[in-house]
Amino acid sequence: MKSSLIVVGKALRYNTSFLNYIHATVVEHLDFPDQTVYIDKNDKELFGVIEEAIARSEDTLIITTSESFNLINKVVATLGEEALELKGGMLIPSKTIKFEENSYLLVRENKRINVIKVEETHKLPAILIENKSNIALFSIINLDEDSLKIFLEPLAQNYEIKITPTRLIDGWIIVEAISSKYGNMESFFKAATSLLPHKIIQHPDVLEYMIQKLQEHDKTLSIAESCTGGLIASLFTKHAGVSAIFKGGLVSYANEIKESWLGVSAETLERFGAVSELCVREMLEGVLNASLSDYAIATSGVAGPTGGSVEKPVGTVYVGARDKEGHILIERLLLQGDREYIQIQSTYHAIKLLLHVGENIFLKSEKNS
């Protein structure tokens, strides 16, 4: 199913937090749109862009600011050779089949068009396109792309599913599965998890899945971060219900804080430095002792763009995960990218280690759990 998202209002493209909110809401209804266009209301191509999007897509969602809303309504009406009528306090195309405050839906030749008017710092109006998705997202842990193709592509073809993988980090692949009209997604996942036990997480959001599993097993998590600066804690706490499993996080950026808050020894910091396996090991122990949690994650590294050395260049990061019984995994990473991308990669590497430390609850297939 082809879908398009058109955002009208040049200023919106600079409001990244609001755009992230829009995007997160949109994907609940359109999954990931096949096409996203940002355009100004005064752009001479506006009419053509909207006409083309509607022509090529089964679902078109147009998001506009209040100053552009009436103009867009005229464009949409003109494309459908319709008049404008007053409905719900809005002057909108006459053949609108459904409307709510600041949102309306049209259906033309089986194509759905939803126009919504948004305002910064306010809740988004209702998206009236109902999700009829034939798409599923899932994750593969500790399998390379070549092996994924060998194992899963023939299986997917057998169930008339098309799979498209993308590598989040080494050892963690996100896969988009699209079912054809006669595809069988349920049977595909059943066969895939049987073929690759302990490697498939059949959930579009792995962190939400982890929170659910921790809650099911009455387990808790705490986090000690340095170079990731609270990013891991932020990703977990974006999810509702996380308070049931997350005790807290410590951002121990300075060495003296690592020492005083987490109990990292002065000798470790002096001899090996904060960017070291031993430091992360002691950070894990310290946050577990402070929180009495069941699991812990820790990170320390050089995110750049400065601060590197010959021995520890920019991108050198140690990540670790541990449970209260002492099962521990620590990994040294040599990452590339800008500061933000290195931090994000570090975050997901640390989360991947937690998946392995807690594999009995995270990576066990349902039939064996």
pLDDT (tens, 9 = 90+) of the chain, 369 residues, equals 589 999 998 788 889 999 999 998 998 877 778 899 999 999 999 999 999 999 999 999 999 999 999 999 999 999 999 999 999 999 999 999 999 999 999 999 989 999 999 999 999 999 999 776 688 999 999 999 999 999 999 999 999 999 999 999 999 999 999 998 899 999 999 999 999 999 999 999 999 999 999 999 999 999 999 999 999 999 999 999 999 999 999 999 999 999 999 999 999 999 999 999 999 999 999 999 999 999 999 999 999 999 999 999 999 999 999 999 999 999 999 999 999 999 999 999 999 999 999 999 999 865 444
- Tell which of 54, 83, 118 closes a domain: 118
Same domain, 250 and 283: yes
Q: Is residue 318 part of a domain?
A: yes
Query: What's the pTM value of the predicted model, to 2 decimals?
Result: 0.87
Same domain, 42 and 72: yes
CATH code of the domain covering residue 190 = 3.30.70.260
Q: Is residue 281 part of a domain?
A: yes
Q: Is residue 124 part of a domain?
A: no
Q: Is residue 127 part of a domain?
A: no
Structural domain including 283 reads 206-362
Same domain, 109 and 163: no
Q: Is residue 333 part of a domain?
A: yes
Same domain, 212 and 331: yes
Same domain, 345 and 213: yes
Same domain, 297 and 350: yes
| Per-residue confidence (pLDDT) for residue 8, from 0 to 100 | 96
Same domain, 241 and 340: yes
| Per-residue confidence (pLDDT) for residue 365, from 0 to 100 | 63
| Per-residue confidence (pLDDT) for residue 184, from 0 to 100 | 95
Q: Is residue 276 part of a domain?
A: yes
Inter-CA distances, 180 with 57, 75, 253, 285, 333, Å: 17, 33, 50, 50, 40
- Tell which of 118, 143, 160 closes a domain: 118
| Per-residue confidence (pLDDT) for residue 367, from 0 to 100 | 46
Q: Is residue 351 part of a domain?
A: yes
Number of domains the chain contains: 3
| Per-residue confidence (pLDDT) for residue 1, from 0 to 100 | 57
- Tell which of 180, 201, 222 closes a domain: 201
Same domain, 226 and 347: yes
CATH code of the domain covering residue 66 = 3.40.980.10
Same domain, 228 and 351: yes
Same domain, 103 and 145: no
Same domain, 83 and 142: no
Q: Is residue 8 part of a domain?
A: yes
> Can you tell me the distance from the alpha carbon of 60 to that of 7, in angstroms, rounded to the nearest whole number?
11
Same domain, 345 and 298: yes
- Residues 106-147: pLDDT tens digits? 999 989 999 999 999 999 999 999 776 688 999 999 999 999
CATH code of the domain covering residue 289 = 3.90.950.20
